[in-house]
Structure 1
Amino acid sequence: MWLRLAIPLLATAALGGCAESAAPEDVPFEPRYEGIETALLDGDLVNFFVEMRGARDAGDVEDYARCAAAQYALIRGYGFARHLRTNVAQEGGLWRGDAVYTISAALPRGLKTIDAEVVAMACAENGIPMV
Structure 2
Amino acid sequence: MGCVAGQGARDTLDPPARTQYLGVDTRLLDGDLVSFLVQIAGEAGQAEAIAYARCAAAQYTLIRGYNFARHVRTSTTQRGGIWEADGVYTISPDLPRGTRTIDAEVVVDDCNAQNIPTV
With structure 2 as the length reference, what TM-score do the two structures score?
0.83
Between the aligned residues of both structures, percent identity stands at 57
Aligned length, in residue pairs: 104
Runs of 4+ in 1 over 2 A off after TM superposition: 54-57
CA RMSD of aligned residues (A): 1.3
CA distance in 1 between counterparts of 2:42 and 2:100 reads: 26
Structure 2 letter corresponding to 1:110: G
| Match in the other structure for 1:61 | 49
1:127 to 2:115 alignment:
yes
Question: Structure 1: which 5+ runs fail to align?
Answer: 1-27
Q: Secondary structure at the match of 2:108?
A: helix
Structure 2 portions without partners, runs of 5+:
1-15
Q: Tell me the equivalent position of 1:31.
A: 19
Separation of aligned partners in 1, 2:73 and 2:60: 17
Indicate the structure with greater helix content.
1
Residues 59-105 of structure 1: CA deviation (Å, up to 9, x unaligned): 11110000000000000000000000000000111111111000000
1:56 is displaced (CA, Å) by 4.1
2: CA distance between counterparts of 1:125 and 1:51? 20
Normalising to structure 1: TM-score of the pair? 0.76
Alignment-derived partner of residue 103 in structure 2: 115
